[in-house]
Amino acid sequence: MQEITSAEFEQEVISGGKVVLDFYSTECPPCEAVAPKFEGLAALYGKDIKFVKMFRQQNKPLAESLGVRSSPTLLFFDNGVQLPVTLTGGIKRSDIIHQLDSMLSKERVLEIKKAIKPTVSEFDVLILGAGPGGLTAGLYLCQAKVNTVLIDIALPGGQVSTTHEVSNYPGFIDPQPGYMLSHNMSEQTKQCGTIYKVAVDVTKIDLEKKEVVIDEFETVRAKKIIIATGTSPNLMGIPGEKEMKGKGISYCATCDAKYYGDKEVVVIGGGNSAVEEADFISRFASKITMVHQFDALTANKQAQEKLFANPKTSILFSHEPRSFVREGDKMITEVEDLKTKTVSKLASDGVFVFIGMKPNIDLFRDKLELDNWGYIKTNEDMQTSMPGIYAVGDVISKKYRQITTAVADGTIAAIAIAKELN
Ligand SMILES: Cc1cc2nc3c(=O)[nH]c(=O)nc-3n(C[C@H](O)[C@H](O)[C@H](O)COP(=O)(O)OP(=O)(O)OC[C@H]3O[C@@H](n4cnc5c(N)ncnc54)[C@H](O)[C@@H]3O)c2cc1C
């Protein structure tokens, strides 16, 4: 693995051969999540494809000239030519593999895959998801001497690690940077001795067999499973969103707001996340236009008052985005006035989308009893409808989704399981 600068780009990337280039940033949890996958794949594919990385903040002009607008972004080159696929955001290991495989012959791919040996490991408890809920369950189980593994598709910390400030977690007088709070939670659980398998691809989950396959070849079995997979941001699902994701459209202010210094930004949404994140983005951007479908914000009063007092921010009420297009340097958001039905264009340098969340249950959707909104139903011990399967945190059916409530759920599940295993 080689770290290069813009000055070495010609020689290391363009001069020939097959190359994958990772543009990363600091204080960027998705970059940290991709780093171990990138390194692991470098060990597998390194004889055929050169793996290099570049610090985006210090090589901004080159990054921009290559169309890189968020971190991390992986670009692929073959004999000096940039390939059309760009991977960005929460990059999956399988997405990288798919692209790397397409750059090699079928025979060579088979040889590389043959070198991987399947493994099986066994634990008392397997926790899926290392956010506050999963980390707390891991801590309590570890302290109860229960052999526990924590599996996450990203780095530990969950949503807290991408929240710029947390002011309502008890025990801290001053607001805490989200990444620090999640880092401390994770270190506490790790230092106790819980096994971590993070930044992996979860290939398959078999709740009946209590078995999870990660990174295609590693099977992890347990007597009990705790699902703590949290929620993910909803997408708008309108034309241009998929194409511009990571190239002008972002879902993470902590990751990307710093790239909009003195620039104009559109923020979509009007709930707590949208309002709080707009406030954070205004530390960098010169102007923020919020687009909200209702005629009043739904965020709490305190957050609203702060936003209304911010001279950089204006709000388009009763408007909904219809499409995103790029015109030169500008992102054009077409918005419809829901009252007059007229469509107008908003030009900006970037768009942030905060329109609510959905539960992360894709790999076991049909196996468990869910509520009308797709959240997992549990009893007071956090047990789901399937024996031996527990669920905690934002992924379960409940009224209030906060760090404190996730932590409480994790505590309850862990104590209940520890007692049962005894
Ligand atoms: C912008 C924003 C600001 C917020 N601010 C606050 C605040 O100030 N105070 C507060 O109390 N709460 C806040 N919250 C809410 C708080 O972050 C959540 O309630 C809390 O993180 C929930 O914890 P969790 O462990 O249930 O899930 P998460 O924190 O979402 O963690 C879930 C974990 O599961 C992993 N995962 C997902 N799918 C899989 C899979 N298939 N296999 C394995 N792992 C998987 C994810 O990578 C993630 O690490 C905020 C949320 C947002 C979005």
- Could you tell me which of 296, 319, 320, 293 has the C-alpha nearest to residue 308? 296
Ligand 1 centroid to 182 CA: how many Å?
Answer: 10
317-369 confidence digits (pLDDT tens) = 999 999 999 999 999 999 999 999 999 999 999 999 999 889 999 988 899 99
Question: Is there a catalytic annotation at residue 28?
Answer: no
Residue 125 vs residue 94, higher pLDDT: 125
Question: Is there a catalytic annotation at residue 256?
Answer: yes
253-270 confidence digits (pLDDT tens) = 877 888 899 999 999 999
Average pLDDT over residues 398-405: 93
201-237 confidence digits (pLDDT tens) = 899 999 999 999 998 889 999 999 999 999 998 999 9
Kindly state the DSSP code that residue 394 receives in the 8-state scheme: G
- According to DSSP, the residues that pair with 53 across neighbouring strands are 3, 22
Ligand 1 within 6 A of 161 CB? no
Q: What's the whole-number average pLDDT of the chain?
A: 93
- Could you tell me which of 24, 1, 222 has the C-alpha nearest to residue 123? 222
Q: From the candidates 22, 152, 215, 256, give the one annotated as an active-site residue.
A: 256
Quick check: helix, strand or coil at residue 381? coil
Distance in angstroms (rounded) separating the CA atoms of residues 421 and 68: 50
pLDDT at 282 over 90: yes
172-196 confidence digits (pLDDT tens) = 999 899 889 998 999 899 899 999 8
Question: Is there a catalytic annotation at residue 31?
Answer: no
pLDDT at 118 over 90: no
Structure token pair of residue 106? 């079928």
